Amino acid sequence: MDVAKLLQQHVDLMDDMFKEGLLDEQFNQLQQLQDESNPNFLEEVVSLFFEDSQRILENMTETIGKDPIDYKVIDSQVHQFKGSSSSIGAQRVKNVCVTFRTCCDKEDKKGCQDALEDVGEEYNLIKKKLETMLELEKQIVAIGGTLPFMEGC
């Protein structure tokens, strides 16, 4: 596939992610941090987000599965997830975390269980799209193209 088509696919994917509220302006900030001295910065940060998120989700699942639920522990876990998702611009994941924390404050077991399910769904959705984005970027660079946010670097 030629560079122009891949670039268009990249543009369309990014537009969709922003329009659907999956990503916010913070993601643009991250793209702008990638430069010649750190050409893989975005991939490194996104990969780290995936690692941390997987671990946090597993921990949250374990905490919610206990009886009684330790709401301080789950709140701390949600706080971490909210922080990292906010820093990467994963807006919908962050928003679910905000709701989740409210349920923790109220010690609402059902609310927490539902929020855990929601946050898992939102995370899986953004993860899939970001993986597609990273794969497109690798292909673009491999055939000599320049990523739109790297132009001028």
Partner 1 sequence: MHLILFLPFTPPPPPPPPPPLFSQCLLWVLVVLERNANGHRQRKVLLVEDTRINRIILRKVLQNLNLLCDEAENGKIAVDLHVQGNSYDLILMDKEMPVMDGHEATRQLRLMGVKTPIIALTGNALQSDRELFFEAGVNDFQTKPLSRDKLVQLLIRHGVESSIPAAG
The nearest distance, CB 26 to partner 1, in angstroms, is 5
The nearest distance, CB 135 to partner 1, in angstroms, is 21
Asked if 48 interacts with partner 1 (CB under 8 A), we say yes
35 DSSP 8-state letter: B
The nearest distance, CB 46 to partner 1, in angstroms, is 10
Q: Judged by CB under 8 A, which stretch of 47-55, 63-71, 110-118, 132-140 contacts partner 1?
A: 47-55
Q: Show the 3-state SS of 77-134.
A: HHHHHHHHHHHHCEHHHHHHHHHHHHHHHCCCHHHHHHHHHHHHHHHHHHHHHHHHHH
20 DSSP 8-state letter: T
| CA atoms within 13 Å, Cβ hemisphere of 88 | 27
Give the residues lining the site for partner 1 (CB under 8 A).
26, 29-30, 32-33, 35, 38, 41, 44-45, 48-49, 52, 76, 79-80, 82-84, 86-89, 152
